[in-house]
Amino acid sequence: MASFDKKLSSLLVKAGCVTKEQCEEFLAQAQSGGKKLSEVLVEKQAVTKHDLLGVIAAESNTPPVDLEKIKVADEVSQILPEEVATSYGVVPLDKIGDFLTLAVVNPFDVLKLDDIRIITGCELRTVVALESQVETVLAELYKSVEGKVDEILDGFDEGDVELSENKQEAESGDMDLAAVSDGAAPVVKMINKIIFDAVTSKVSDIHVEPFEHKVLVRFRKDGSLLKVFEPPKRLQNSMVSRLKIMSKLDIAEKRKPQDGKFQMKLGKQKIDFRVSTLPVVWGEKVVLRILDSSNLALDIHDLGFETKCMEDYLWACAQPYGKILVTGPTGSGKSTTLYSAIKHISSPEINIVTVEDPVEYTMEGINQVPISNARGLTFAAALRSILRQDPDVILLGEIRDKETIEIATKAALTGHLVLSTLHTNDAPSTITRMIDMGLDPFMVASSVLVIAAQRLAKRVCKNCREPIEIPTERLVELGLPQVDIEAHEGEATFFKAVGCSKCANGYKGRFALLETLRMTEAIKRLIIAGGSVIELKKFAVEEEGMITLRRAGLRNAMRGVTSVEEVLRCTMAD
């Protein structure tokens, strides 16, 4: 910062705060003592800190700030890496939308500010602060990692979290030495704290990721990954070993992926966790999927689908036999939609059996079969056995191969209601996917009741959202029919995501978008005639009134539930 000290001395002389001779003397004292010029000037009472700030602020046309009177939230440390903030002498104060408020020592160094703008991807709103205050705040904001570990564990009551089966550790014969060393107890407590924070924050996944010089813990909330913690690199092996012990995995095996599960009790609530380990360059990455049945919206009427989509889905659930298919990518909420249908159908007079890999949520009164490829219990093998168990309703976690889809289709045609999932982009393309898997078009048309394509979209935060105007021409261009625009004329309110302390980048929570293709007689004839995906979709939209995923998303944007940007992110153009 020597160049800034010279700049500051010239500014003070120019402002008449000190003479040139005095400034040269103070500058020499600062250099010999290894101090900052500003620090020496305040110590010698040559100028006050307010005068210093005033001179720099006036010259750079930047608002001044007294960091001693500001409480900087710990969360802002995630905005800028510690090494960048310390090297550049800046303190991130707040981030709203794409605007980052930054306290800087040297507002004249535009090159460094450009670097930060590129690193963060944000527009900067700079304020000027004293160098000594910036250093103090940075030291507090970016504490040593060991200090952070001690801090987050202080006062944490381990009684809040416990393994449902205390025998799990005892049953694991071979323990890693790192897991039973002197640091084991803090690691156990730290893992419990991470899990406790994840569950109370209602996240869906916990990622423990090893890198060359650090370990990251990230939570997936509302579909986005957020960095929450950076434990010491030396605790990496102990953390992985602890998670393996909890999941009854082989802690000596570090070169192959492993899958396991465990259950923990948080207060009176039992939470299931599905664990996956994966060898990477710098160790083993561990991902925990949180399966909290209390977060599962099982009432089918609470799913919030469009009226027509809900009518199609409920109609299919009321049929005595046939196939209901829910399609979409991993993490699009297909399981929730299927479980809701099972809950809706369930009654003491109906025999319901599910085949899942793995069983994510246990349900009272439902026979649930976990797949085990190691024992030869595949989807197809389980389905054959189930058909000899006199079922009324069958839920298949996923249709993966020709054998499974053939058995499921025959079951649907012989008096069973079959619910399952496929990985396709939309409802019409599911038809051609099944034909490609080996089904005859006539079998597809005869067995399927409804196909529902699903996506999860983020809800815009009601606390910070801002209304915006979108021209009608733009809405039509995006794929919203004129009939929807006219139906909501004068009522539609569009919002944009902003971002505040109560949300993640302007969004809070998620909801489902559904596109349902009901097998009407006209659709069946088109399938048997060999209609293409484009022909099927065009006919379904124009003749059958099918609401596409894009249209459903834009309808929700009109109601202020989400933003147009989020709809464009999670749906394809029609």
pLDDT tens, residue order, the chain (574 aa): 456 667 777 777 777 777 777 777 777 776 666 667 777 777 767 777 777 778 888 888 888 888 888 877 766 766 776 767 877 888 888 888 788 889 988 888 888 888 888 877 788 889 988 888 888 888 777 664 445 555 555 555 555 566 665 443 333 333 333 333 334 467 888 888 888 888 888 888 999 999 988 899 999 988 888 888 888 887 888 899 899 988 989 888 888 999 988 888 877 778 889 999 999 999 999 999 998 766 555 678 778 889 999 999 999 999 999 999 999 988 888 888 998 899 899 988 999 999 988 777 778 888 999 888 778 888 888 999 999 999 999 999 889 889 999 999 999 999 999 999 998 989 999 999 999 999 999 999 999 999 999 999 999 998 889 999 888 889 889 888 888 888 877 777 899 988 887 787 788 888 999 999 999 999 999 999 999 999 999 999 999 999 999 999 999 999 999 999 999 999 988 7
Residue type, 296: L
- The reported pLDDT for the residue numbered 166 is 41
CB 541 within 8 A of CB 479: no
What is the Cα 316 distance to its own chain's centre?
A: 32
Backbone angle region of 289, left / alpha / beta, with phi > 0 → left and psi within -120 to 50 → alpha? beta
DSSP, collapsed to helix, strand or coil, labels residue 452 as strand
Q: DSSP assignment of 1-50, as one string?
A: -HHHHHHHHHHHHHHTSS-HHHHHHHHHHHHHHT--HHHHHHHTTSS-HH
CA angle 72–78–84, rounded 5-degree value: 95
Q: How far apart are CA 1 and CA 37, in angstroms?
A: 10
- Say what angle helices 402-413 and 379-386 make with each other, to 10 degrees: 20
- The reported pLDDT for the residue numbered 146 is 46
Residue 211's contacts (CB-CB under 8 Å, 6 or more residues apart) are: 282
Q: How far apart are CA 498 and CA 460, in angstroms?
A: 9
- The reported pLDDT for the residue numbered 506 is 87
- The reported pLDDT for the residue numbered 502 is 77
Cα four-point dihedral sign 130, 132, 134, 136 = negative
What is the Cα 470 distance to its own chain's centre?
A: 28
- The reported pLDDT for the residue numbered 74 is 64
CB 201 within 8 A of CB 221: yes
- Reference 564, options 454, 474, 484, 462; nearest CA is 474
Q: How far apart are CA 566 and CA 506, in angstroms?
A: 11
Q: How far apart are CA 302 and CA 313, in angstroms?
A: 13
What is the 8-class DSSP label of residue 552? Answer: H
Q: Which residues of 231-270 are buried (b: 16+ CB within 10 A; e: fewer)?
A: bbbebbbbbbbbbbbbbbbebeebeeebebbbebebeeee
- The reported pLDDT for the residue numbered 168 is 37
Q: How far apart are CA 56 and CA 386, in angstroms?
A: 78
- The reported pLDDT for the residue numbered 2 is 57
- Reference 398, options 384, 381, 379, 382; nearest CA is 379
Cα four-point dihedral sign 248, 378, 338, 416 = negative
Q: How far apart are CA 549 and CA 513, in angstroms?
A: 6
- Reference 174, options 86, 241, 262; nearest CA is 241
